[in-house]
Amino acid sequence: MNKTMWSIGFQKHLPIDEEASLFRFETAVPQPEGRDLLVKIDAVSVNPIDVAVRKNGTETLDEPKVIGWDAVGT
């Protein structure tokens, strides 16, 4: 059975005051390979790069794009 996790992301580059500009969705837990580490995340933050990625663009994505790469965990 594949494990899942909650993520925050977007599929459309909408203004931040739009309800669908960011949303929570379930996705598969990544499988580490090679020298990867799998970290249990306790908290994330959205930094200026995440804001720029979400804000800039015009396409609608087939799959949600995860944002919030600044994280803390074990």
Q: What is the CATH number of the domain that holds 24?
A: 3.90.180.10
The secondary structure element, H or E, covering residue 50 is helix 48-55
Selection from 73, 40, 72, 62 nearest residue 9 by Cα = 62
Give the number of other CB atoms < 10 A from CB of residue 14: 14
Domain hosting 48: range is 4-73
Tokens 């720029």 found at: 52
What pTM, to 2 d.p., does this model score? 0.79
pLDDT 10s digits, 42-51? 998 888 888 8
Confidence of residue 1 (pLDDT cuts 50, 70, 90): low
Q: d(Cα 22, Cα 8) in Å, to the nearest integer?
A: 7
Report the domain count for the chain: 1
pLDDT 10s digits, 19-45? 989 999 999 999 999 999 999 999 988
